[in-house]
Amino acid sequence: MTRRGERVRAGLRWQNVERDDQLGRVVDRRVKEIFPPGAVLRAGLVRHGDDPAIAPDELMLRVLIPGHGNADALAAWADGHREQMADLRRELSLRLPSARLLEFTFEDPEPGTAPLSMPDDGSLAAEQMSSREIVTRALALLRENYVFPDEATRVAAGIEARLAAGEYDNMDEVTLTERLTADLQDATGDKHLRVHLGGLPPMRGPGPSPGPGPSPGPAPSPGPGPSPGVPGPGRDTPGPVREVVPPGAAGDGDGPDDHELRRLKMRRRGRLDNFGIHRVERLDGNIGYLDVRRVPPAENSGPAVAAAMELVAGTSALIIDLRRNGGGSPDGVALWCSYLLREQPQHLNDIFHADTGETRQFWSYPYLPGSRYLGRPVYVLTSSHTFSGGEDFCYTLQAMGRAEVIGETTGGGAHPTRPFPISAAVHIGIPFARSVSPVTGTNWQNTGVVPDTPAPAEQAYDVAYAKALRHVLDTEDLPPFITDEARAALAALTATEADRSTA
């Protein structure tokens, strides 16, 4: 295995654990939607090795019924829920074919009470695909759509050799998607390229680019300001799981009415996590702080972005925390950047579409409904988990000299990506375009955004806050209460750093 392959697999280990956990939550939620309230306690997927009844290429869905009971009680429960059980079995066969085993049992069964099993009866076999068929279809889609056609041909040939050798045989969908994703990313270094369980609606969580809501951050550390903790694997962990699907890329049903319906749906969902704006704060010393965890399309997020920028409009310096930002929409990035630039439109980014040969330009907005943030320093925080649109955000500001990037080198994903269905259970996300900065003539693919001031992600906040406070103390004509706040906050930061160095 190449050294890059080792890094890819190391990066995927936490991702797969998180994905298993997320898939389990999605399945549990869907089971509870099918059955009446209180009828089931919880449901979970069980893999080969967890139970001797499960073959290497199988999964089992185990549904726990609340309470204590024997075989007669279990049969009585089943008599009352035959329709829901049949619906669940059919949905599993279509959406997760490897879950051939479906088991119902009490949370606390009496001794000797056997679970009630519903194996796949094979009636939907014609609508299911084998692992070989899934890999073959994935490679065909890769050849047809990847942003680098020659690279797609080379990579597909390598995967086909492995397929012929039987390396993908006897794998359930979860294991297959993990393995194929690792092999594709190993061969290309492209973290946007991934195979995933994307065909699970309604057995599915929030989609990639509107994105799941942010996971709780680490516990706040002592001292002023927000938690400077390192992003870790959680529901909103950025990284190679992100995809950017531009408007109009959905395929069928994409007329004006369909687009408007999608926009309204995305806007309703976007409100649930405040359009990725996790935190807005005025820190001591008159420093603005924004924790932005995803970048929705501008047409949906515009009012929220305007409100956030208005709340920090009077501050003397601004910290934008992108350490947990996993990506989003290029025009959403353009909107955020516009608030930090003068009114005259500036060329921010180009996206070249390999399938059409066209290039779409992104410029800053000449009009904004809120106050621009000009003439004051901006510090952008990054981590190794900052990815895709989050990287576009900091790369663009850095290239234009508008912000100082502080933290870790980012994940290195500059290719907008579109999902393609392989089967009812499996999709593949394929990068179909590439970003090109008009300033640098290139992008951050594979290299990541290199910070101006390197710092471990957990320390980036303190570094930026100290820089901002020193700027305030060097600024003339500020009210005394501002300078007093800044002096006290900087002293607290310095004391905290001294305590860390002596610990």
Helix (H), strand (E) at residue 493: helix 480-502
Say how far apart CA 405 and CA 295 lie, in whole Å: 18
Of 413, 367, 420, 376, the residue nearest 394 (C-alpha):
413
pLDDT of residue 219: 33
Confidence grade of residue 423 (pLDDT, cut at 50, 70, 90)? confident
Q: What does each C-alpha distance from 357 to 94, 147, 499 come to in angstroms? A: 37, 10, 56
How are the residues of the chain apportioned to helix, strand and coil, as percentages rounded to the nearest 5? Answer: 40, 20, 45
In sequence order, the β-bridge partners of residue 262 are none
User: What value does the mean pLDDT take over residues 140-156?
Assistant: 95
In sequence order, the β-bridge partners of residue 178 are none
pLDDT of residue 1: 46
**Is the pLDDT score of 8 beyond 80?**
no
- At 65, is the secondary structure helix, strand, or coil? strand
User: What value does the mean pLDDT take over residues 476-487?
Assistant: 94
Give Dmax (Cα) for the chain. Answer: 82
Write out the DSSP string of 415-456.
--EEEEESSSS-EEEEE-EEEE-TTTSS--TTT-PPPSEE--
Say how far apart CA 97 and CA 325 lie, in whole Å: 33
Confidence grade of residue 247 (pLDDT, cut at 50, 70, 90)? very low
Of 254, 156, 245, the residue nearest 208 (C-alpha):
245
The residues, any chain, with a CB within 8 Å of residue 12's CB and separated by 6 or more, are: 178, 181, 182, 185, 240
Q: What does each C-alpha distance from 275 to 210, 267, 296, 373, 437 come to in angstroms? A: 8, 8, 6, 20, 25
Say how far apart CA 383 and CA 459 lie, in whole Å: 10
**Is the pLDDT score of 484 beyond 50?**
yes
pLDDT of residue 25: 82
Helices (H), 168-227: 173-188
**Is the pLDDT score of 82 beyond 70?**
yes
At 416, the amino acid letter reads P
- Confirm if 145 and 430 have CB atoms less than 8 A apart: yes
Say how far apart CA 210 and CA 340 lie, in whole Å: 24
Say how far apart CA 47 and CA 461 lie, in whole Å: 41
Say how far apart CA 110 and CA 91 lie, in whole Å: 30
pLDDT of residue 240: 36
Say how far apart CA 432 and CA 152 lie, in whole Å: 11
Say how far apart CA 199 and CA 424 lie, in whole Å: 5
The whole-model pTM stands at 0.72
N-terminal to C-terminal alpha carbon distance within the chain: 40
pLDDT tens, residue by residue, 171-223: 888 889 999 999 999 999 999 999 988 644 333 222 333 332 333 333 333 33
Confidence grade of residue 42 (pLDDT, cut at 50, 70, 90)? very high
Say how far apart CA 240 and CA 9 lie, in whole Å: 12
Say how far apart CA 275 and CA 303 lie, in whole Å: 10
pLDDT tens, residue by residue, 327-379: 999 999 999 999 999 999 999 999 999 888 999 999 999 999 989 999 999 99
Highest mean pLDDT among 1-15, 241-255, 292-306: 292-306
- Confirm if 433 and 446 have CB atoms less than 8 A apart: no
Residue 358 structure tokens: 């066209």
pLDDT of residue 256: 63
The DSSP bridge pattern shows strands 433-436 and 347-353 to be antiparallel
Higher pLDDT residue, 235 or 104?
A: 104
At 329, the amino acid letter reads S
Tokens 């375009």 found at: 433
The residues, any chain, with a CB within 8 Å of residue 356's CB and separated by 6 or more, are: none
Say how far apart CA 305 and CA 292 lie, in whole Å: 10
**Is the pLDDT score of 21 beyond 70?**
no
Of 41, 24, 27, the residue nearest 88 (C-alpha):
27
**Is the pLDDT score of 304 beyond 80?**
yes
**Is the pLDDT score of 234 beyond 90?**
no
Say how far apart CA 330 and CA 325 lie, in whole Å: 14
Confidence grade of residue 126 (pLDDT, cut at 50, 70, 90)? confident
- Confirm if 490 and 466 have CB atoms less than 8 A apart: yes
Helices (H), 165-249: 173-188
Average pLDDT along the chain? 84
Say how far apart CA 241 and CA 193 lie, in whole Å: 9
Say how far apart CA 472 and CA 474 lie, in whole Å: 5
The residues, any chain, with a CB within 8 Å of residue 359's CB and separated by 6 or more, are: 350, 351, 352, 353, 436
Left (φ > 0), alpha (ψ -120 to 50) or beta: where does 242 sit? beta
The alpha carbon torsion through 138, 143, 146, 151 (nearest 10 deg) reads 120
pLDDT of residue 344: 96
